[in-house]
Structure 1
Amino acid sequence: MRTSTFSDSAIRYSALSLGLLFLILGLAGFVPAFVTPSEHFTSEPGFGYIFGVFPTNYFHNAIGILVGVWGIAAFTSLSGAIVFNRIFAILYAAGAILGLLPFSNTLFGLTPLFGNNIWLNAITAAIAFYYGFVKSAEIATTSSSSAQPSV
């Protein structure tokens, strides 16, 4: 049986940190005191800017809460944290790339993908990529090199 190492803990805590960040952002989006209304009229329900910085709407907030709860739940096991970080990295990198394209400032008209959401998605995707793919590969090579050779 393998004991927990610093790399294991770092992977798990990255899932917890990302989960807490997105849970807080998702919950803050439903609190009117934290959301600045848009300068331009929009018929989209709940559209505004969290802390005056990140464009959001009700659907985007709900996704943030779901991702946050998933990250917190993934913290309970190493394999769950690795899977969370990998899927998170792929999805949020795709969101950042779509946000860079001028014709796709929303995700099929559901959530905003423009402004400061682009760099938030890119930075969190990079963090998740590092812990989901790079650090987990280091653990796999370390554990396989310490295995007993078969005769």
Structure 2
Amino acid sequence: MRTMTDVHTVQKAAFYFGVANLAVGIAGFIGPFVTGNDDGIINISPGYLFGILGINWLHAATHILFGVAGMAVRARYDSSVAYMWVVAVVFAAMAAMGFMQFGMQPGLYSVMGMTVDRNGNVVHTVLALIGLYFALRPHAGETRHRAATY
């Protein structure tokens, strides 16, 4: 029987990363959370999530996909590590494409159909680094207890 001590740090990271992405994705579809457009209750147009981060329906749907995947892979250690690699690569690619196309100029723009802005590029960079950290160091932060032998 598995206990919470059997769950590795990378599995917890994948789960919490998934929960956060799911929340962001759902919020991206709720009109009152997205400013700068004329959508009502359901948001599908480009705007600013919480008035800060560029988002549209495709961007929100992608976060929901990452959220569901992160929560689903928690059960397996190797799947959690693979998920964090995908997080690192995909979010780094999004950030790199955004920075290469638009630098740090203000405003909303589209990268692969997803609405982003400079704040989003910075957040995607941070998320890529978090994914890379857990992909490279899946046991980071865990303490190992070994029986003392005398």
If the length of structure 1 is used for normalisation, what is the TM-score?
0.75
Structure 2 counterpart of 1:119: 122
**Where does structure 1 lack aligned partners over 5 or more consecutive residues?**
40-44, 140-151
Distance 1:120 1:66 in 2: 18
Q: CA deviation at 1:103?
A: 4.9
User: CA–CA distance in 1 between the matches of 2:35 and 2:4?
Assistant: 44
Q: Which amino acid aligns with 1:22?
A: N
Aligned to 2:34: 35
Q: Is the 8 A contact 1:95 1:113 kept in 2?
A: no
Greater share of helix: 1
Paired residue for 2:111?
Answer: 107
Normalising by structure 2, report the TM-score: 0.76
SS of the residue 1:135 aligns to = coil
Cα offsets for 1:28-79 (capped at 9, x unmatched): 011111111259xxxxx42111100110001111111011000000111111
Aligned length: 130
Aligned to 1:10: 9
Q: Deviations over 1:83-121 (max 9, x none)?
A: 10001101111111111113594223x102322111111
Q: Which residue in 2 is equivalent to 1:55?
A: 54
Alpha-carbon distance in structure 2 between the residues aligned to 1:26 and 1:62: 6
- Residue 5 of structure 1: CA displacement? 6.3
Structure 2 gaps of 5+ residues are 39-43, 104-108, 143-150
Secondary structure, counterpart of 1:49 in structure 2: strand
Q: Deviations over 1:95-148 (max 9, x none)?
A: 11111113594223x1023221111111111111011123369x9xxxxxxxxx
Whether the 8 Å contact between 1:23 and 1:65 is mirrored in structure 2 is yes
- The SS at the match of 2:111 is coil
